[in-house]
Every structure is written in structure tokens, then in C-alpha cells.
């Protein structure tokens, strides 16, 4: 079980590293002047590769998490309300990840109308989600 838990933690940390950096690329994309095609294409290439890699990490993180939950029963039974809250937040993180893919497709199509300031705020969401998830897992407040 400790191997599975270790792998789950490594993949979660790696997934979140991607979710921290991908919106930062969006900030830079939103700031690219229209005449700077090479810079835009380079940032789009970086974003596409990062999203693809981050998606692989997300699948592994969720897979190992499900293994812990279903296979070992971690977080099941009475007194484990924290797990329900954590799972709800994980669903929100998955939605955020999906939203990053949607935003990237809009950048590729040249349809993104959001400002770099909006993307700076958007970039803060995974930090808050990770903080809440870690507190739930470590403190187990309910």
C-alpha cells in the first residue's frame, strides 16, 4: 500500500505542477502582440505539450487514488466525511484541467478574448484547491 500511496503523491504533485504552469503560459499568450507569430506558435507548442503530459499525470494520479480508495478502503466508513469533500474538490480539479484544454483550443483557434489579468487570477485556482485538498487529507476535520 505504501508504494501505491507514494506513487499517488508523486503523480498528484506532478499534475499540479503542470496546472500551475499551464495558465502561466496562457498569461504569456494573452500578452503576445498580434504581429509576433513565432512567439505565439512557440508558446502554443509548449502549452500543447504540457497539457498532453499533464493529462497523463492526471490519469495516473486519479488511477492510484482510486486504487487506494477502492483497493485498500482508505477514506471509507464512518468518520470519513473529509474524503467526500476531497473527492468533490478532485472533481473540481478535473474540471479545471478540462477548462485549461478548452482555453488552449480557443488560443489555437485565435478565439481567446480574455486578458492576461484574467489568466493571472485563473492561475491562482489550483493553488487554493491544492491547499484545501492537503488540509482535508492531513487534518481530516470531519
> What is the tens place of the pLDDT at every residue in 42-90?
999 999 999 999 999 999 999 999 999 988 777 777 788 899 999 999 9
Per-residue pLDDT, averaged over 14-40, amounts to 97
More confident residue, 21 or 142: 21
Q: Total domain count for the chain?
A: 1
Q: Which residue has the cell 499525470?
A: 57
Question: Quick check: 122 pLDDT over 90?
Answer: yes
Contact of 47 with 29, CB cutoff 8 Å: yes
Cell of 126: 489550483
* Beta carbons within 10 angstroms of residue 100's beta carbon: 23
Select the more confidently predicted residue: 11 or 72.
Answer: 11
Query: Residue 75: its pLDDT value, please?
Result: 75
The predicted model gives 22-48 an average pLDDT of 97
Q: Do 68 and 74 touch, CB atoms closer than 8 A?
A: yes
Domain containing residue 62 = 2-139
Decide: 86 and 130 in contact? Cβ < 8 Å: no
Instruction: Residue 99: count other Cβ atoms within 10 Å of its Cβ.
Output: 13
Would you say residue 120 has pLDDT above 80?
A: yes
Report residue 87 as a C-alpha cell. 473527492
For residue 38, is pLDDT > 90?
A: yes
pLDDT at 48: 98
Query: What pLDDT was estimated at residue 77?
Result: 76
The mean of the pLDDT values for the chain is 95
Phi, psi of 132 (to 5 degrees): -65, -40
Amino acid at each position: 500500500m505504501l508504494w501505491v500511496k507514494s506513487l499517488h503523491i508523486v503523480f498528484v504533485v506532478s499534475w499540479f505542477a503542470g496546472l500551475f504552469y499551464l495558465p502561466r503560459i496562457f498569461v504569456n499568450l494573452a500578452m503576445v502582440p498580434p504581429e509576433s507569430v513565432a512567439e505565439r506558435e512557440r508558446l502554443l507548442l509548449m502549452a500543447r505539450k504540457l497539457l498532453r503530459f499533464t493529462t497523463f499525470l492526471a490519469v495516473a494520479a486519479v488511477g492510484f487514488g482510486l486504487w487506494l480508495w477502492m483497493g485498500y478502503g482508505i477514506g471509507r466508513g464512518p468518520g470519513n466525511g473529509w474524503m467526500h469533500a476531497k473527492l468533490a474538490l478532485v472533481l473540481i480539479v478535473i474540471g479545471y484541467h478540462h477548462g485549461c484544454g478548452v482555453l488552449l483550443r480557443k488560443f489555437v483557434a485565435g478565439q481567446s478574448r480574455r486578458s492576461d489579468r484574467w489568466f493571472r487570477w485563473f492561475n491562482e485556482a489550483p493553488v487554493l484547491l491544492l491547499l484545501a485538498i492537503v488540509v482535508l487529507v492531513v487534518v481530516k476535520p470531519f
